[in-house]
Structure 1
Amino acid sequence: MSLNVLLVASEALPLAKSGGLGDMVSAYAAALRDAGVDVSILMPAYPEALERALDVAPVARMTGLPGGDARLLRARMPDTGVTVLLLQMDHLFAREGLYRDPQGRDYLDNLTRFASLAAAAHAYRARRA
């Protein structure tokens, strides 16, 4: 039996990073893959993530998320080749900062943004179960 792991995070290096979380998620994914685990990362499709990811292709349409409908894209990390799933909701994630606006204020809809990511993870895994 092979192990399938979906890491869900708001950032992953080198696609998007604001602190240590991005480093840890990417390193953990690579280590799991090297140990023979079928691992993927699910994260928001920030503009910089879409620019840096390789082989981006649509996978599914997701409806009923807290922030509305979304597209799910499959890609590869440019440095490790680990599979990354990008949740594309431009009205929530196509912004200058990951969590804050250019003036350093938290986005007022961060709860909706990351509730959508969590709901997408649940829906994705439920489809694959």
Structure 2
Amino acid sequence: MKVLIASPEVYPFVKTGGLADVTGSLPKALKKLGVEARVILPKHKQIGNNFPLRYRNLKISCPISNKVVEAEIVESESDGIIAYLIEKDEYFYRDYLYSTPDGDYLDNAERFAFFSKAVLEAIKVIDYVPDVLHLNDWETALAALFLRLHYRDDPLLKNVATLLTIHNLGYQGIFWHYDMHLLNLGWEYFTPEYLEFYGKINFLKGGIVFADLINTVSKKYSQEIQTPEFGFGLDGVLKKRAKDLFGVLNGIDYEEWDPERDEKIAAKYSKLTIH
């Protein structure tokens, strides 16, 4: 089986929180199970030249509203895991990933609509067609929608299955309705059945509606988000997908977080040395 993990951040390339830890350690765990897994993420400014970068003239073009945005796919690798970096400095060569101390980037809808489209276009040029495209949080969620609506007849992509992981339902990618043009979709998709969310566009909702399967970080959390108390307004949509919604407890990379070998802690220890 081939898996491509799409995420806005992946450790050790770039990290702001736990999402990067999960998407960085998961492909290594899958590899031990005999699953071929690779990752794809934006080529953020923070990546710099800290990793080997291979330019193979892999160019893609993505329609964003009434323009075509071109980008390049750069190959890299870490701990034996191949990574594809989407290089588009206009969107990703910034001091921060999502927001500045003054607030979110005003073009986040465009940046991550592009990223979701670019993931699919990248598959067509990297010579790696996954059986499963693993999407993570709102920044990649629309890839499930685009795959179903824009690529359903594409011979290379039509059989790719999608899994959407919700790490934190509190972050949904909500934007004003005038950003619909960025998605190159008709207004028939701006409805409560699809993308509309209290008069705005909800990227995560689009992924929930169109992904083949959905999972969260634990069985308990998968149950909680189907309630008004913890559903952040999406509990009804998640209830409709209940048979396709699973909870998988987050794991940990024991090699990365081994206190017997960790050079970043004040004193190493093990279960035998704690009293």
TM-score (norm 1): 0.86
Counterpart contact for 1:14–1:52, Cα < 8 Å: no
Residue 43 of structure 1: CA displacement? Answer: 0.2
Query: How far 1:17 sits from its partner (Å)?
Result: 0.8
What is the distance in 2 between the residues matched to 1:114 and 1:30?
Answer: 26
Q: CA deviation at 1:126?
A: 4.4
**Rounded Cα–Cα distance in structure 1 between residues aligned with 2:34 and 2:96:** 34
Alignment-derived partner of residue 90 in structure 2: 91
Query: 1:51: how far off?
Result: 2.3
Please give the secondary structure, in 2, of the residue aligned with 1:22. Answer: helix
Partner of residue 11, structure 2: 13
Alignment match, 1:75: 76
Confirm or deny: 8 A CA contact 1:75 1:86 kept in the other structure: yes
Aligned twin of 1:57: 54
Amino acid in the other structure paired with 1:117: F
Shift of 1:108: 0.8
Q: Which has the higher contact order (CA 8 A, sep 6+)?
A: 1
Cα distance between partner residues in 1 of 2:88 and 2:63: 10
Tell me the distance in 1 between the aligned counterparts of 2:21 and 2:43: 17
Percent of pairs with identical residues: 25
| Alignment gaps of 5+ in structure 2 | 130-155, 157-275
Displacement of 1:20 in angstroms is 0.6
Question: 1: distance between equivalents of 2:31 and 2:46?
Answer: 24
Of Structure 1 and Structure 2, which has the larger fraction of its residues in strand?
1
Which residue of structure 2 lines up, in the alignment, with residue 106 of structure 1?
104
* TM score, norm. by length of structure 2: 0.42
CA contact (8 A) 2:62 2:121 kept: no
Determine the structure 1 residue equivalent to 2:41: 43
Range moving further from structure 2, 82-91 or 105-114: 105-114
SS at match of 1:52: coil
Query: How far apart, in 2, do the equivalents of 1:9 and 1:104 lie?
Result: 24
TM superposition shift of 1:63: 1.0
* Aligned equivalents of 2:48, 2:82: Cα separation in 1: 13
In 2: Cα distance, 1:114 partner to 1:36 partner: 31
Structure 1: 4+ residue segments shifted above 6 A: none
Partner in structure 1 of residue 241 of structure 2: none
Q: Tell me, what secondary structure is at the counterpart of 2:103?
A: coil
Q: RMSD across aligned C-alpha pairs, in angstroms?
A: 1.7
Which segment drifts farther, 15-24 or 34-43? 34-43
Match of 2:24 among 23, 26, 37: 26
How has the CA–CA distance of structure 1 residues 40 and 57 changed in structure 2, closer, same or farther, with 3 Å as cutoff?
Answer: same
Q: Which amino acid aligns with 2:55?
A: P
Number of residue equivalences: 123
Instruction: Report the secondary structure of 2:106's partner residue.
Output: coil
Gaps of 5+ in 1: none
Q: Is the 8 A contact 1:58 1:74 kept in 2?
A: yes
Cα distance in 2 between the residues matched to 1:68 and 1:108: 18
In 2, Cα distance between the equivalents of 1:50 and 1:9?
18
Q: Structure 1's 65 and 93: CA in aligned 2 closer, same or farther, altered over 3 A?
A: farther
